[in-house]
Chains A and B, each alone.
Chain A
Amino acid sequence: MAGILVFIEQRNGNLRKASLEALSEAKRLASGAGLAVNAVLVGHGIGTKAAELGKYGAGKVFVADEEKLARYSTEGYAAAVRAAVEKSSPVALFMAATALGRDLSGRVAARLGWGCLADVVRVQVEGGAVVATRPVYSGKALATADGAGKPVVVTLRPNVFPAGIGEGKAEVEALPQVAGDIRAVVREILAKEGGELDVAEADVIVSGGRGIKGPENFALIRDLAKLLGAAVGASRAVVDAGWIDHAHQVGQTGKVVSPSLYIACGISGAIQHLAGMSSSKLIVAINKDPEAPIFKVADYGIVGDLFQVVPPLIEEIKKLKAEV
């Protein structure tokens, strides 16, 4: 049953969007190449979610449902995923390149003796093998790679592949108890205060850089973000200055994001910042320096003082939103 196996991530029983994107992409590839698409879902008390995956293209869903798997652990999840791989002998194992996916993928790949193509932005099937394109050198180049003749683990960058919903009900197969020794255990999950949207998951991001002058002016960035349902991003300069938490940092030593809209306010566009956001679908820059490198990657820009541009921009967007 050669095909693509997709690991589906859930949090508190909710299927993660990035996983559904990976599953939809697997389905799209498989339809063209005559491959099967199966999924593996791991957790506790998550069984009812499995059949739903048929809508995204899964033929069969392997479910590992054990109390020991209620919280994520690399080792418990790796054992479950391996069991599903053994049952379905896929040519590729897909997962989303989320924090969890990036933690799990290397472990699983090494356990299977397979390579891993990480954080890919394009996937194809050529002669029955998966070939993927991924940004390297911080997005300054694109490498197209494969598993060198073996099956391969592929992690797909969130927000790049569309999740397509259709009809269909998946067949569900329970995996036998898999969790062996789990040495590294999650004791606690500390939620970020205020339940702010994370830049890694957001479809729209409004970022502030040194041009906002001081931490108090993140209020302006937040106002625009709130209006757009966006997450708040930041350059390293302002994170290092202590204006905002590192979790907001976008770039080489922060998060790599691909939202459909990225608005950079008072950010110069240093190469290390671009590394984190240049694959955004639409980039807007507001900067008073016409020579700022951010304008080289921007689709739309305003050369001007952000303190004079952002407040009217908020008002204009409010007006446009009121029109519908």
Chain B
Amino acid sequence: MKSCVLMAHVPDTASVIKVPGASNRIDETDIKWIVSPYDEYALEEAIRLKEARGGAVTVLTYGPERAQQGLRECLARGADAAVHVKGGDGTFGDALAIARVLAAAIRKVGPFDIFFAGIKGVGSDNSLVGAMVAELLDIPHVTGVVKLEIGDGKLTAHREIEGGTEVVEAPAPCVVTAHKGLNEPRYPSLKGIMASKKVTIQTFAVADLGLDEGALAAAEATCRWKALELPPAKSGGTVLKGDEDPAGAARELARLLREQAKAI
């Protein structure tokens, strides 16, 4: 099976986020960039599928120059090919613009039998691109998958919902968005790292795909970040010492929760 993994290259989850005054973008100076954590589950599932059934794994990203590093990391973990659509500065945060670019790239380098994405890109925190790509390609999707079985031309996916799990059956091709719990991603092996260096990453400009990035970021834009700010700092709470008289501290906490916070 030929699978395609959509990979978002995002700020490390432990990054300190700074917003320069009157800007709608973060200060990227000290940011370390990583493969979005959920995309690691997506990639791992594609690699396992290849190991079990044969085929190949292509990783696709739309992003600036630095996203190449993310592609290299995916190759080192076991992907066979990588596609980089360069750009994305102007369309940042606009999930539909990103999905339009990804769908166009897929039409160019596809077809694929199955697509994997993360349930959510860490940073944008949108949870949108997977479903949007599926709609643009007119194929079904299943989001938040924690278990996946692939049969002949169809798949069975377990997706987490509040208080339970839905068992969804869908024909391939289909977009599957990965949730934590789907698998345990592997680390790149030395052999993988060496082999990945020999792979040529296929690169495109957005214009090569028949799209106009300027228009996607302006007239055709569907989401615009007007402002970005840091959340208001929390003023210090009431901290009680409970090492000498834990029961007393517990009593005081219960009282505060009832009388002051009216929470219990």
Contact = CB atoms under 8 A, between A and B. Distances in A.
Interface of A: 72, 74-75, 78, 98-100, 102-103, 105-107, 109-111, 113-119, 131, 134-150, 152, 183-192, 195-198, 200-201, 228, 246-247, 249, 252-254, 260-261, 271-272, 275, 278, 282-284, 286, 288, 290, 295-305, 308-310, 312-313, 315-317, 319-321
B27 to A, nearest CB: 11
Nearest to A146: B224
B109 to A, nearest CB: 20
B37 A106 contact: no
A320 B254 contact: yes
B193 interface: no
B13 A138 contact: yes
B22 interface: no
B190 interface: no
Nearest to B161: A99
A100 B143 CA distance: 9
Most buried by B among A113, A138, A190: A138
Contacts of B96: 109-110, 113-116
B141 A184 contact: yes
19 contacts: A74-B131, A78-B135, A99-B144, A106-B95, A107-B132, A107-B134, A115-B96, A115-B221, A116-B223, A136-B123, A138-B122, A139-B231, A146-B223, A183-B139, A187-B156, A192-B165, A228-B264, A298-B239, A299-B237
Most buried by B among A110, A139, A185: A110
Contacts of B64: none
Given A110-B136, A303-B242, A183 B229 contact: no
Contact of A192 (B164, B169, B223): B164
Given A107-B131, A140-B230, A316-B250, A300 B237 contact: yes
A136 B237 contact: no
A246 B95 contact: no
Contacts of A302: 239-242, 246, 249-250, 253
B180 interface: yes
Given A107-B131, A148-B221, A317 B264 contact: yes
Most buried by A among B165, B169, B249: B249
Interface of B: 11, 13-17, 19, 24, 26, 37-38, 93-96, 99, 122-132, 134-136, 139-144, 146, 156, 158-171, 174, 180-181, 221-231, 234, 237-243, 246-247, 249-251, 253-258, 261, 263-264
A128 to B, nearest CB: 15
B164 A152 contact: no
Given A109-B96, A114-B222, A253 B238 contact: no
A201 B162 contact: yes
A41 to B, nearest CB: 19
B181 A246 contact: yes
B231 A140 contact: yes
A121 to B, nearest CB: 10
B150 to A, nearest CB: 14
A292 to B, nearest CB: 10
A136 B14 CA distance: 14
Given A110-B99, A144-B227, A183-B171, A99 B160 contact: yes
Most buried by A among B11, B168, B251: B168
Given A103-B159, A304-B243, A305-B242, 20 more contacts: A99-B143, A102-B127, A107-B131, A115-B95, A115-B221, A115-B222, A117-B223, A134-B125, A140-B230, A142-B228, A184-B168, A190-B165, A192-B165, A228-B264, A247-B160, A261-B257, A300-B253, A308-B242, A308-B247, A316-B251
Contacts of A144: 225-229
